[in-house]
Homo-oligomer: A and B are copies of this chain.
């Protein structure tokens, strides 16, 4: 990995960091080539063609022999959706064991929902709604924090006290995944139908992944962002 592996996401506390990586574009084609008992040593033009063939024909397994480990910090509601992805490994900050940091997320804009289930569009709402949402949510969270601290102070278990912390509080977690599963994640979450905030994280993941598997990421885009 060269260059910066840390990307800030959302205002203030959110981020994604690529902590470890193995594999790469070459691992994809060499895993496919084991079918023919062959192996490349450098990544050539014919490797690039093979990789596009695998992507297009949805031969998915060669894209599994690699590994990315990310450390992330997201609002709770973002991780709520994120961990629906089962072909991945997770460890997450526990509100049972640690006192939560008083860090929460305030959206930059209120948005409205138009259309019907399965075909929603989200539009930015005028200043009135945005201002109200921001101040009301801030007020609600501050109130929650003070109730949280009071609860902890009178000896209530953290696992009960945390009920005062809404789902826009930040949580930290480790996320390990291979490129095949990550492409499935990106096809669903770096997509205009996904919740705005998880889209922002998906973009960050996609950018970091593109640095370590550049030709795979390019072929994924060329293929219409359909996971193999």
Binding site for B on A (CB under 8 A): 20-23, 27, 30-32, 34-37, 53, 57, 61-62, 64-67, 69, 71, 76-77, 80, 83-84, 86-87, 89-94, 96-98, 101, 107, 110-113, 117-118, 120, 122, 125, 128-129, 132-133, 136-137, 140, 143-144, 147, 150-151, 154-160, 162-168, 172-174, 176, 178, 195
Contacts and interface: CB of A to CB of B under 8 A. Distances in A.
Contacts of A111: 156-157, 160
Given A36-B117, A164-B137, A89 B61 contact: yes
A83 B81 CA distance: 10
Given A35-B94, A112-B156, 18 more contacts: A20-B65, A20-B66, A22-B69, A23-B67, A34-B91, A34-B93, A35-B93, A37-B93, A65-B174, A66-B69, A89-B178, A107-B160, A129-B154, A132-B151, A133-B160, A136-B147, A140-B143, A140-B144
